[in-house]
Amino acid sequence: MTLPKIKQVRAWFTGGATAEKGAGGGDYHDQGANHWIDDHIATPMSKYRDYEQSRQSFGINVLGTLIVEVEAENGQTGFAVSTAGEMGCFIVEKHLNRFIEGKCVSDIKLIHDQMLNATLYYSGSGGLVMNTISCVDLALWDLFGKVVGLPVYKLLGGAVRDEIQFYATGARPDLAKEMGFIGGKMPTHWGPHDGDAGIRKDAAMVADMREKCGEDFWLMLDCWMSQDVNYAIKLAHACAPYNLKWIEECLPPQQYEGYRELKHNAPAGMMVTSGEHHGTLQSFRTLSENGIDIMQPDVGWCGGLTTLVEIAAIAKSRGQLVVPHGSSVYSHHAVITFTNTPFSEFLMTSPDCSTMRPQFDPILLNEPVPVNGRIHKSVLDKPGFGVELNRDCNLKRPYSH
């Protein structure tokens, strides 16, 4: 089989600060009013009272969704979405295009390495540039799968299990249990600036959910970089009587020594996890070396599927789990091939967590959701990532080349 070359790469955006609000899609923080994901959740900005009540108040949704589409010479296309918005479009159309167009559709690793090295001088250790590279990488995998007629998980070597089981992230673990999920992860609402009163309030929330969910249902806390080491240790011990399975992302990404101290002082049996906002392979290696129990890369932010596979190998070599931050089909196709990913995350994007809404709704068509907390591998048996772009969304292409 002769594989075609890539003819063109294009980039659109929707939502964010320069478009309509509440667009959802790849930037799942960009939701409308009265949504749990924007309701007094602890963040690094919570210490400033003006930005305590709402994450959108400090601009968590300003980027919007980036959509990257790559077209082969034979007319077939692949695409992906992430969080980078209009600025990501500029990077794709004005810089990264030179490493993509003219390459064979199978040259994914070559393109990936060239994008990483060409942006080192302005990419830092992740963020907007890495989100953009991740989106391109995912679009390339989607195109390759469509050209050869295989789902991405088969390009990675095939499934190691028949289904993926999920825990749910949202404000209502009790509803997640009713839907068949194996666990529920709640956001914390208080931080170090609230003192011991904040610890008592979040521990009381865990206690209440433990009573509602019973003893065997997993409960976890997502702290979203909002704490310091001492506060995190105290919160972990305050929640220990309620059998908290893990405490997540207590500290900012680069505080590796802090994670080591937290792991050393965490209650017996409680796992310490992080990785959602780490953006390079090297950062995950350091995180692994500091004894984290579960690494949680976001495939749309960490460098794409190409990097996620490498992160999983690092974790496996140390007997650690890798459970990606919820990324819908983009992580489904990976985790079903990883032996050290026994479960995965589903992010509840319905406003009150009472219904099953696809994570990247409305930008993806045919995006699967768990049934009774599970997705069978047969659901993934479509070429590429198995989803289509909803072109009825208000897509804008601000740049071209």
Which residues are annotated as catalytic?
325
Q: Is 93 annotated as a binding residue?
A: no
| Residue 239 main-chain phi, psi, to 5 deg | -95, -10
CA distance 294 to 299: 15
Number of neighbouring beta carbons within 10 Å of residue 127: 14
| Residue 120 main-chain phi, psi, to 5 deg | -55, -40
CA distance 379 to 368: 7
Strand, coil or helix: what is 202? Answer: helix
Q: Is 352 annotated as a binding residue?
A: no
Residue 88 belongs to what H/E stretch?
Answer: helix 85-91
**Sequence-ordered alpha helix ranges (H) in 218-328:** 229-239, 256-265, 281-289, 305-317
Q: Is 222 annotated as a binding residue?
A: yes
Q: Is 345 annotated as a binding residue?
A: yes
283 within 8 A of 126, measured Cβ to Cβ: yes
Helix, strand, coil share (%) of the chain residues, nearest 5: 35, 15, 45
List CB contacts of 355: < 8 A, sequence separation 6 or more: none
Q: Is 20 annotated as a binding residue?
A: no
Residue 175 belongs to what H/E stretch?
Answer: helix 173-178
CA distance 237 to 233: 6
Q: Is 172 annotated as a binding residue?
A: no
Annotated binding site: 29, 55, 222, 248, 276, 345
Annotated binding site for substrate: 29, 55, 345
Annotated binding site for Mg(2+): 222, 248, 276
